[in-house]
Chains A and B, each alone.
Chain A
């Protein structure tokens, strides 16, 4: 009970400090009053500290099973394993909001502490914007959806977690995705601050690059973890269903992918400054839009969300952010392009520009599909799109983007010449060689995608080979570039895995008697019998399958205490080439079993590619301080006098 009051008090204190920081920082930036700028920053740090205190209190309440708090009751019980109890912190609406705010406060503090070189006004405005966002979240937490609400009578036990959620994937996927969402606020704040202060040089980019990279990496990992969890736990044989909740995590990622590339053009050439402002702002607005959609229940989704009280507040917040950023861009955008050194279309700059356009196109496709129910529902009968829409509309654009990944790194900053076309021989040849046999087997766009992705890998190999031939140490000196190439390889491997498992998947629904076999895509499985086990809170039906030397045991648990709700445990036999994926639909009185068997080619490549991706990002950005020296050598202005 005490914890409830302490936590609510901490949130309230944080709210006051956040509001104070926001107001003072904006005023101080306008007046360029240095002392007030510092006070405003410290108020932000204090607000972040209050959030941390509240977070600790909530975690303590969970771990001590303090059932006086409604939140603890709703998300845990005495029987829940401790790891899942601790994870309950971010498992529910209010807790996940607090977690988000915690990350925002922590990363915001880190970004402000290291921002001394940006000059007073930008710093003040960035503080103000970060504080405003923090204040909004703290307001929702303190007033609308508090994790510290108390119950009038303390129950002896909690409600516990639904069995579907009792899984390791639930421990790690949500906090990574939520942290990624929260991190997108940092580049947004600094971009807007730079616009407000009339600073259009690349200083804000250099400072916030690591935060944008962090947000992007967290989101990449979060998306892949979510896909892995859906595939291994939910048991429908797939890893992505274009559900609104998935889409809202994908869109900011796409915008930030574009930004990470486009920002290089500004750092090296001083161009595309407007694009970079726009992309960073877009990423954050998509995050806010996504949060609104996901937590308000306005769009039908398998991730059920009741129409909750916080929906309207997030809509208002979204509207405010849109108006604010829109006004800033409209008023300040002319100021940005100060170095109109034109580049030809067929050049690296042109490739980055095209990449921006293509990724924006994908965002448009996904956004339209996601909000169609909302728009159509307001104008008439509600309509939804199904998965083929996304594949048909976004697929071709993705393939073009993959092709760009193969061509772009080989293009020079100036006009492409004969040397370029010569260098493109290998990627083109590789692409054709890989795509041709696949096209023959009828994989259509999948064949093209895999072929193009192979070409992209060939490009990276040629680049590495060139570097090693000339001077191997350049791999370390220019690790940002070569690490990025490795990340490209990771993404291309993921693309191949996705294309193969989409176009090459085969499935069969069968009912087998004991001893009977079924063959799918050349894999023959035999059903050898089933057994039933009675456990504490559920009955487990296990089917024994064999194929070759491998034994698979798909099972199905029924929870009598929850009205007969079932939980499938999928059995997967994984090889680098394909997954054999078996789901037990049910067992019959006569001893037969009904099963769904799927063969998914190259699924492991998705997970492996993800690891390579993260590895590339990490290796490419280790010890980033040296980058500043390198940029200075190129004589690109990175800071202007304040």
Chain B
């Protein structure tokens, strides 16, 4: 049961975590360390 909850939470967190990968190339800034 806990595993089900965990999986659900991971699905919710996924987009937030993977956002830098999902952004289209034009949007991401070129210099490292300056985003966030």
Contact = CB atoms under 8 A, between A and B. Distances in A.
Interface string B1-36: 111111111100100111111000000100011111
Interface stretch (A112-120, A314-322, A386-394, A561-569): A112-120
A9 B3 contact: yes
A120 B32 contact: yes
Interface centre among A6, A118, A123 (most CB of B within 10 A): A6
Nearest to B4: A9
Nearest to B28: A35
A12 B17 CA distance: 16
A5 B10 contact: no
Contacts of B1: 5, 8-9
A5 B2 contact: yes
A interface bracket (residues with beta carbon within 8 Å of B): 20 to 34
A642 interface: yes
A46 B3 contact: no
Contact of A46 (B6, B13, B32): B13
Given A116-B34, A118-B33, A12 B16 contact: no
Contacts of A528: none
B33 A39 contact: no
Contacts of B32: 32, 34, 37, 119-120, 642
Interface in A36-54: 37-39, 41-43, 45-46, 49-50, 53
Contact of B20 (A42, A45, A123): A42
A152 to B, nearest CB: 15
Interface string A95-127: 000000000000000000100111110010000
A10 interface: yes
Sorted from nearest, which 9 A-B pairs have the closest CB atoms? Answer: A9-B5, A8-B2, A12-B6, A120-B32, A13-B9, A34-B32, A38-B20, A46-B13, A13-B6
15 contacts: A8-B6, A9-B1, A9-B5, A9-B8, A10-B5, A20-B17, A35-B20, A35-B28, A38-B20, A42-B16, A42-B18, A42-B20, A46-B17, A116-B34, A642-B32
Interface of B: 1-10, 13, 16-21, 28, 32-36
